[in-house]
Structure 1
Amino acid sequence: MDLHARLEDVFRQVFDNDQLTLRDDMTATDIEGWDSVAHINLMFGIEQAFGIRFKGNELADMTNIGELKQFLSGKVPC
């Protein structure tokens, strides 16, 4: 499974939406239910799925899904 598919799986679990399809230009405002609680759950979900740890506000500082994917591609083998 490639990075995009793995990330999409995490988003679908966190937001309880099997139909959620990620695009690189998507932001938090594009995803229904992305609030502060969902953000924390997403952060932990990504950390667990990819075996990484975010430092400080790294996730919050990313502007879109594409930037998140680029960050992850530098941290984990695809």
Structure 2
Amino acid sequence: MTREEVYERLNNVFRDVFDDESITLNDEITADDIEDWDSFEHINLVVAVQDEFSFKIPMGKVVSMKNVGEMVDIILELGK
């Protein structure tokens, strides 16, 4: 899976979770950049990402993610 493929799938997940078709992700996007991305929605997002990519993200990695780029790195690492 390429980084571009991950972004394509992640864009759809984010748009569904936040009900916002205008979301376009990049490496630098953080919770501060997306309206309604609070701690509750973060849990929903992680669950949706895990469902989309069919693997569990370890809690240590979930809490250490600083931006979408790090999320993509984790997905690529776990998807090997």
Aligned residues: 77
State the identity %.
Answer: 36
Match of 1:10 among 6, 10, 13: 13
TM-score (norm. length: structure 2): 0.87
Quote the residue 1:43 is aligned against: 46
CA RMSD of aligned residues (A): 1.5
Please state how far the C-alpha of 1:27 moved relative to its aligned partner. 0.8
Q: Helix, strand or coil: the match of 1:63?
A: coil
Match of 1:72 among 71, 75, 80: 75
Q: Within 2, Cα distance between the matches of 1:73 and 1:56? A: 16
The worse-fitting range, judged by mean Cα deviation, of 7-16 and 68-77 is 68-77
Please state how far the C-alpha of 1:20 moved relative to its aligned partner. 0.4
Please state how far the C-alpha of 1:61 moved relative to its aligned partner. 1.1
Please state how far the C-alpha of 1:34 moved relative to its aligned partner. 0.5
- Give 4+ residue runs of structure 1 displaced > 2 Å after superposition: none
TM-score (norm. length: structure 1): 0.89
Gaps of 5+ in 2: none
Is contact 2:61-2:74 (8 Å) kept? no
Please state how far the C-alpha of 1:60 moved relative to its aligned partner. 2.6
Equivalent residue letter for 2:6: L
Gaps of 5+ in 1: none
**Between Structure 1 and Structure 2, which shows a larger proportion of helix residues?**
2
